[in-house]
């Protein structure tokens, strides 16, 4: 299959990772799991319910706090878009710290 015909061929690099995170929306905090992460977003597995475009904060292993918005949902999975993107070297450093 050629690169053009592959599903998501233009999608940025995503790193598959499974680590615990906390999701905060307003005064509510939910325990969740990070499924994958890219420079501009992430996928999480979370039992809580969030609205599309809801603004949240991810706290990953106490190392990093990221502000994001809910881009899509297929409960219990949610797609997030970060308010600020990572540089590729920052993403690699983060991945090595949490894995």
User: What are the backbone angles phi and psi of residue 97, rounded to the nearest 5°?
Assistant: -75, -35
Residue among 22, 24, 47, 19 at smallest CA distance from 35: 19
Quote the CA–CA distance of 33 and 6 in Å, as a whole number. Answer: 27
DSSP 53: T
For every one of its 99 residues, what pLDDT tens digit does the chain have, with 9 covering 90 and above? 434 445 666 667 888 989 999 999 999 999 999 999 999 999 999 999 999 999 999 998 777 889 999 999 999 999 999 999 888 888 778 777 777
Residues 31, 33, 34: CA angle, nearest 5 degrees: 135
3-state secondary structure of 27: coil
Q: Give me the pLDDT at residue 66, please.
A: 92
Q: Give me the pLDDT at residue 9, please.
A: 60
């Amino acid at each position: 299959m050629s690169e053009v015909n592959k599903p998501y061929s233009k999608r940025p690099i995503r790193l598959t990772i499974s680590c615990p995170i906390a999701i905060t929306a307003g005064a509510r905090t939910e325990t969740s799991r990070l499924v994958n992460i890219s420079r501009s977003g992430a996928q999480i597995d979370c039992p809580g319910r969030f609205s599309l475009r809801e603004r949240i904060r991810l706290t990953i292993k106490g190392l990093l706090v990221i502000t994001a918005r809910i881009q899509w949902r297929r409960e219990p999975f949610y797609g997030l878009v970060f308010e600020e993107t990572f540089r590729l070297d920052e993403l690699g450093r983060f991945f090595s710290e949490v894995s």
